[in-house]
């Protein structure tokens, strides 16, 4: 019997983490499908559902779960309805969700209430925003846990999850960065019409609990970057509340030195990171992928609080012009020793091997809180 595995993806970021796992499962003989929703379906963010369709040998189902301006609770409700219908129709053997997004919460909730096994990727992380609340909710809803580090494993156990259902595999997106991207820097520059060869990368997302100040934070940050006189590639923020204020600031940036994109193909983005001078912003890429590549990164604000564990990661408030100037002056173009605290780029192989073990499928779904002795 061929087992079916359904991956839920709502953003370009979580697809970058789920794609290696899905590819490994497909190659191991599982029937793999994707439920594609969220930012993937929106023109403003690059209509990245196209990237999912490019993955050969998988089934793709699209679902529009939001309109511009929908609040998070409405998006959650719509996603629950759509995903529930699809799970009822297809009855997968395993649902796979990632991290801390609202779509992942909907997927874990649907799986739990329909008694479908659910694998949660990268639980046990801390970040200090509402994302952390969603992430820990997903941990309690999921039946299996695939975490990135021993610290994450310890936190999942502290939430009462049994040790035999927690697997340390590393961060899946590092699988991409560990090998050749498949494109050259010149090919990436030509494809995206990037005129400069020396550049920093900027990704600045809204923090939902700080929605009222996101415009001011973005203005302070980008004013500081503009004053440096350096060139930057800017990836648009995600669609959380507060993004409109960030977009308003991006619209005012000098186009000769700030090349902006709604999204980017993952292997192209990987090649840019491997050749960038620095990374700036509050994306998880700045505290996970950048240290793995030895790329110095400046973490802005509170979105990734407590997640940085590498000497190549620096932090400051968006309004701290002096710290921004110092980072750009000292770290621009430097390379640090690679940080492997979140894995060595072998997460997908480990994930597939665990699913190929027959005992994985024999574990029950009745949860019992496991106290730590």
**SS3 track for 285-312:** HHCCHHHHHCCCEEEECCCCCCCCCCCC
- As a whole number of angstroms, the distance between CA 328 and CA 325 comes to 5
Per-residue pLDDT tens digits for 219-229 = 999 999 999 99
Phi-psi map region of 211: left, alpha, beta (phi>0 left; psi -120 to 50 alpha): alpha
Q: Architecture of domain 4-170+346-362 in CATH?
A: 3-Layer(aba) Sandwich (3.40)
Domain 181-331: CATH architecture, name and number where available: 3-Layer(aba) Sandwich (3.40)
pLDDT band at 373, cuts 50/70/90?
A: low
> What is the tens place of the pLDDT at every residue in 260-309?
999 999 899 999 999 999 999 999 899 999 999 999 999 999 888 777 67
Distance CA 247, CA 42 (A): 15
Rounded Cα gap, residues 182 and 113, in angstroms: 42
Number of Cβ atoms within 10 Å of the Cβ of 209: 16
Segments of the chain assigned to CATH 3.40.50.2000: 4-170+346-362, 181-331
Task: Determine the pLDDT at residue 47.
Answer: 93
Token pair belonging to 131: 């994302």
- pLDDT more than 90, % of the chain: 86
Start-to-end CA distance of the chain, whole Å, equals 40
């Amino acid at each position: 019997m061929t087992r079916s595995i359904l991956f839920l993806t709502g953003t370009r970021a979580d697809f970058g983490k789920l794609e290696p796992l899905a590819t490994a499962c497909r190659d191991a003989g599982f029937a793999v499908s994707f439920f594609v929703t969220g930012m993937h379906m929106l023109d403003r963010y690059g209509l990245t559902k196209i990237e999912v369709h490019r993955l050969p040998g998988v089934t793709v189902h699209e679902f529009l779960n939001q309109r511009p301006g929908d609040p998070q609770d409405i998006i959650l409700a719509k996603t629950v309805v759509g995903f529930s219908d699809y799970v009822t129709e297809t009855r997968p053997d395993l649902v796979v969700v990632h991290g801390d997004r609202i779509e992942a919460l909907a997927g874990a909730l649907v799986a739990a209430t329909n008694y479908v096994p659910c694998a949660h990727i990268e639980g046990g992380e801390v970040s200090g925003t509402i994302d952390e609340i969603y992430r820990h909710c997903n941990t309690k809803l999921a039946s299996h846990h695939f975490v990135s580090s021993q610290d994450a494993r310890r936190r999942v156990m502290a939430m009462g999850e049994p040790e035999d259902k927690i697997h340390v595999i590393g961060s899946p997106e590092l699988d991409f960065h560990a090998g050749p991207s498949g494109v050259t820097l010149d090919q990436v520059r030509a494809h995206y019409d990037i005129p400069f060869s020396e550049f920093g990368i900027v990704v600045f997302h809204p923090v939902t609990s700080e929605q009222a100040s996101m415009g001011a934070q973005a203005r302070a940050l980008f004013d500081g970057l503009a004053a440096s006189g350096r060139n930057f590639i800017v990836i648009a923020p995600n669609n959380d509340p507060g993004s409109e204020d960030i977009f308003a600031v991006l619209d005012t940036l000098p186009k000769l030195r700030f090349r902006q994109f709604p999204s980017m193909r993952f292997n192209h983005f990987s090649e840019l990171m491997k050749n960038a001078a620095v990374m700036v912003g509050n994306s998880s890429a700045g505290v996970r992928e950048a240290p793995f590549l030895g790329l110095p990164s400046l973490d802005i604000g509170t979105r990734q609080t407590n997640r940085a564990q590498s000497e190549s990661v620096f932090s400051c408030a968006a309004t701290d012009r002096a710290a921004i100037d110092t980072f750009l002056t000292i770290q621009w173009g430097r390379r640090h020793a690679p940080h492997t605290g979140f894995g060595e780029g072998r997460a997908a192989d480990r994930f597939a091997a665990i699913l190929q073990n027959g005992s994985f499928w024999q574990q029950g779904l009745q949860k019992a809180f496991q106290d730590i002795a």
